[in-house]
Structure 1
Amino acid sequence: MSGREEPSASSPSSVPATTGTLTTSVPSRLDRLPWSRWHWMIVIGLGTVWILDGLEVTIVGNIASRLSEEGSGLDITSGQITGVAAALYVAGACVGALVFGWLTDRYGRKKLFMVTLLVYLAATALTAISFDSWWFFTFRFLTGFGIGGEYAAINSAIDELIPSKYRGRVDLIINGSYWVGAIGGALLSIVALDTSIFAKDVGWRLTFALGVVLGLVILLVRRHVPESPRWQFIHGRGEEAEELVGDVERQVEEEKGEQLPPPGSEITIHQRKSIGFGTIAKTVFGRYPRRATLGLSLFIGQAFLYNAITFGFGAILTTFFDVPSGSTGYYFAVIAAGNFLGPLLLGKLFDTVGRRIMISSTYILSGLLLFGTAWLFDNGSLSAKTLTACWCVVLFFASAGASSAYLTVSEIFPMETRAMAIAFFYAVGTAAGGITGPLVFADLTESGHVGDTVLAFQIGAALMCAAGLVAAFLAVKAEGRSLEDIATPLSAVTQDAG
């Protein structure tokens, strides 16, 4: 094993040291691994939760009209669902990201990604038995609270466990899998809204119950996902990190039938138990101001576009094209498919062509295409089908760009601040675009005026283009590089220049 730990004389070796020194090759050993069954286990155990998020958001958007009907069991309007409930869900996600992000950096990835999933499961189950609007709003907030925590804990764990060669495409596809859930949610809502199958006050409850069942399945797989060795060796658990990586190496060698090449460079760090908010803020904004600007731009652009449009697409179809509420799921399934195909087909290019070119081009191209869609919509040139086709093309590129926002903030800041950085940029960007977006967009689409909806389209397009221009100048060349090379850990003996 290539690890040497020297605990300080003032700290017993049995207690995680805060001043001990450790030299290890764990990062390079993880990055040199070929793709294996072990990596698939990580992807399935951690990445599939985005499917649940997509299921949640899409179901609520598509059943909004049914929940507002008499006999649904809830005294609530469609505008409250696409506006207030949507904003509360996103607000919960912002708060959850910040709370669980800090806990994740302090107590480890594994503990927190188990807790966040349990929070999601409990809140979703209680949403299914809603009997009044206040109950529904409360548990939409708490469901978002769990999902927000997932974003921080999961993205940090995935990036730290996946080899650098594959990190970009894997991260994009995992974040893009949200849309697999969206497809399921759209199609499931069609069945749930069919009153010949389920009563008005039963079908929508079963959709939430299905989310609980799927979450329980993910929970069973997730139990086998290990703690991040990168987190372990910084937090005084060097021996555990060495043992874990050694076990993985043996599994991979047995699977591939050949010996792994020797690891590359080592890193020497001063172990620490935790890191304060002051240090995090100083690091992110003082040491990496250009990267902070990049992260905020990417998140604000994609958050407004997605949280506004995905919550309101069904309302657009029913308001302007007289699409029956029970049929909007078919249209949403089509644009969801386009969203998933974007990261799936373009993801590899983020590792080969490079981050800067791909991030900037996907943002700018999706923004320009959305401007075109707004122009066609304003001229009355679109039908429900052609509008859906336009959105499918727009979101093919926008989805890859939006997924790259999560990838970017999870890899361009030091290890000790990773989960909190993800949480911060997610919370601030989503609060700016994800809370105000649904509230503003609900009013604009409910007005029934074409010009109002065109304005919403144009705002989303402008923000995406602006974020793309920022990325063109500030995006970091992270493809194929170790996380420690992109941003040297704060605990490292030798610091980089930022």
Structure 2
Amino acid sequence: MHANTTSDGPRSGGTFDGVTPYHWLLVIIASCGWLFDCMDQRLFILARQPALTELAAHEYTQKRYCSACGVPIKDKARSEICADCQKTGRTSPPAGQPATPAPEKLKEVKARDAKNYGGWATTCMIIGWATGGIFFGMMSDKWGRVKTMVATLLVYSGFTGLSGLAQTWEQFMAFRFLVGLGVGGMFGAATTLVAESVPTNFRSVALGSLQALSATGNITGSLISLAIPPSAENFWGPYAGWRVLFFVGILPALLAIPMIFILKEPEAWKKAKEAAKLGHKDKQVGSPVEMLQHPRWRRHALIGLLLGVSGMIGLWGIGFFSPELISEALKGDYPARTVDTVKSWGTALQDAGAFVGMMVFTVLASRWGRKPAFFVSFLSCLVVVALVFNFLRKPTDAYWMLPLLGFATLSVFAGYSIYFPELFPTRLRGTGVGFCYNTVRYLAAPAPALFGYLTTLMEFRLVATLMCSVFLIGLVALIWAPETKGQPLPED
């Protein structure tokens, strides 16, 4: 690794001193791995509601309804009377009540179920994300950074495509869990590869740019949805638009080719792996137990966990419900195609704001330090999210409010890519980053389901405002966070 000290502190050379064409190529390929990962996430967010509305409708068309009370019959018996009515002896509906629900009632029930299923589908993906992040984080320390990137790329792109073949909401959620496995593993492998491969003075810029470019993937997903509206029926033969969107998500698998033939494992990782082979018991790679037993690394892991859970719940439990916010704000006043268009352009602008927010965080972290940058970001999240979810009322509001939402909620993620690799030694770096960035997803996983459930009990905007309190966790965690500005990557 280049001999200069980090670009955050005093140095004899500039930020780009010692940066070779290979370093640029490495950053571009690693960024693309995370970029396409985020594109697939955006496709899911935009296709989530129409997909589950259709799958919920399919579920109801396959059900039989009790001839006495009209509720769906869930048992496998051939009786036309449900178990509850059999117990009470009821054989016909009350006077004036139809034996089966009216179409309007079924439409209401399907819409309610689609909203509820949307939260659970997101929760399934986040649980898979957490599981994959921890597993592939350890594997990146054991197998290598490049091999792990290839494996996670194939997992998330393959199962995104299969999501378009789902016939039931249960299948859809299973595919989203499997997509999450690959999504979770890519971040840790990509950031550790970049952190260990580029010159020290270039590290914060490279890692901040990697995370910022992920917004390009989100924007790409939003623009694709303009060409392939997710709510369109019979868009391509028998396929609805949301299915075609997921088929597009297979294409990033082609990135595996340059990953395999161009990227090389970092020398720091090779040395750590060699030390482990020599039998040094206190130098084992990829051991979460050893990480949590060591006082310093355990403290860093817990701080990273608190920082991560604040931003993760804020984004996936609130910020990424912006398409649903648009539906709520525009319902009844605009046709479905107009709402889809506002969602596509609005989320694209949200991602453009995210790109700017992550670049601003990178500049602040390099000049002021990691902790001040996190403080500004979490504080802006607290204010902006409450503002947007309470005052977005019409299409033009979406076009200026959602960029602010993206700027705030995604800015902290640049901090994760810069800060988390700086908290752990080489032999535990993939494990530590995976723990900080993905274990929090187990804690964050109930948030989307909770959000979806609470919106069935109280007003949508009120739920979002109440959940904004999660950003206080990140602000409090900064009290104990170490400042890594100007420090080399730790070793032990």
TM-score scaled by length of structure 2: 0.77
Specify the SS of the correspondent of 1:335: helix
Q: Deviations over 1:257-295 (max 9, x none)?
A: xxxxxxxxxxxx999563543312112xx2245433421
Q: Which residue of 1 aligns with 2:137?
A: 101
2:315 to 281, 299, 306: 306
For 1:479, the aligned partner's letter is: K
The CA deviation string for residues 200-253 of structure 1, in whole angstroms up to 9 with x for no partner, is 724323222222213313543453111011101122289xxxxxxxxxxxxxxx
Unaligned runs of 5+ in 2: 7-12, 60-109
Query: Residue 347 of structure 1 aligns with which residue?
Result: 362
**Do residues 335 (structure 1) and 350 (structure 2) align?**
yes
How far the C-alpha of 1:428 sits from its partner, in A, is 2.5
Q: Contact 1:44/1:221 (CA < 8 Å) preserved in 2?
A: no
Contact 1:164 1:479 in 2 (8 A): no
The answer for unaligned runs of 5 or more in structure 1 is: 1-25, 239-268, 490-498
Is 1:437 the counterpart of 2:440 in the alignment?
A: no
1:465 aligns with 2:472: yes
1:443 partner amino acid: Y
Shift of 1:96: 0.6
- Distance in 1 between the 2:463 and 2:57 partners? 35
Which amino acid letter does the alignment assign opposite residue 483 of structure 2?
A: K
Shift of 1:326: 2.3
Instruction: Flag the 1:204–1:222 CA change in 2: closer, same or farther, 3 A.
Output: farther
Q: Distance in 1 between matches of 2:238 and 2:53?
A: 8
Q: Which residue of 1 is the match for residue 382 of structure 2? A: 367
Report the counterpart of residue 89 of structure 1 in structure 2.
Answer: 125
Q: Which residue of 1 aligns with 2:462?
A: 454
The structure-2 alpha-carbon separation of the partners of 1:57 and 1:191, relative to structure 1 and needing over 3 Å to count, comes to same
Residue identity matched to 2:369:
G
Partner of 1:50: 34
Normalized against structure 1, the TM-score is what?
Answer: 0.76
State the alpha-carbon separation in 1 of the partners of residues 465 and 395 from structure 2.
16
- 4+ residue runs of structure 1 moved beyond 4 angstroms? 29-33, 69-77, 194-197, 269-273
- Superimposed CA distance per residue, residues 171-191 of structure 1 (whole angstroms, 9 cap, x where no aligned partner): 122123222121121222232
Q: Which amino acid aligns with 1:177?
A: L
Q: Structure 2 counterpart of 1:305, which letter?
A: G
The 1:220/1:454 distance shift into structure 2, 3 A limit, reads: same
Alignment-derived partner of residue 492 in structure 1: none
Cα separation, partners in 2 of 1:29 and 1:373, compared to 1, 3 Å: closer
Number of aligned positions between the proteins: 420
Is the 8 Å Cα contact of residues 43 and 225 (structure 2) preserved in structure 1? yes
Q: What percentage of residue pairs aligned between the two structures are identical?
A: 20
Matched, 1:123 2:159: yes
Aligned pairs (5 A) from 1:277-296: 277-283=288-294, 286-288=295-297, 290-296=299-305
Counterpart-to-counterpart distance in 1, 2:291 and 2:55: 51
CA contact 1:298–1:402 (8 Å) conserved in 2: no
Alpha-carbon separation, structure 2, partners of 1:474 and 1:109: 30
1:475 aligns with 2:489: no
Are 1:342 and 1:400, in contact at CA under 8 Å, matched by a contact in 2?
yes
Partner SS for 1:474: coil
Once the two structures are superposed, the pairs formed by residues 92-491 of structure 1 within 5 Å of their partners are 92-193=128-229, 194-195=232-233, 198=236, 201-217=239-255, 219-221=257-259, 223-236=261-274, 272=283, 274=285, 276-283=287-294, 286-288=295-297, 290-322=299-331, 324=336, 325-327=339-341, 328-373=343-388, 376-377=390-391, 382-386=393-397, 389-433=400-444, 435-446=445-456, 449-450=458-459, 452-460=460-468, 462-471=469-478, 473-483=479-489, 487-489=490-492
Aligned residue identity for 2:472? C
Q: In terms of mean alpha carbon deviation, does 95-104 or 33-42 score higher?
A: 33-42
Cα distance between partner residues in 2 of 1:271 and 1:302: 33
Q: 1:200 to 1:334 in 2, by over 3 A?
A: farther
Structure with greater Cα Rg = 2
Distance 2:169 2:463 in 1: 30
Cα pair distance change 1:186/1:354, threshold 3 Å: same
Shift of 1:348: 2.6
Q: Which secondary structure state, in structure 2, belongs to the residue aligned with residue 142 of structure 1?
A: helix
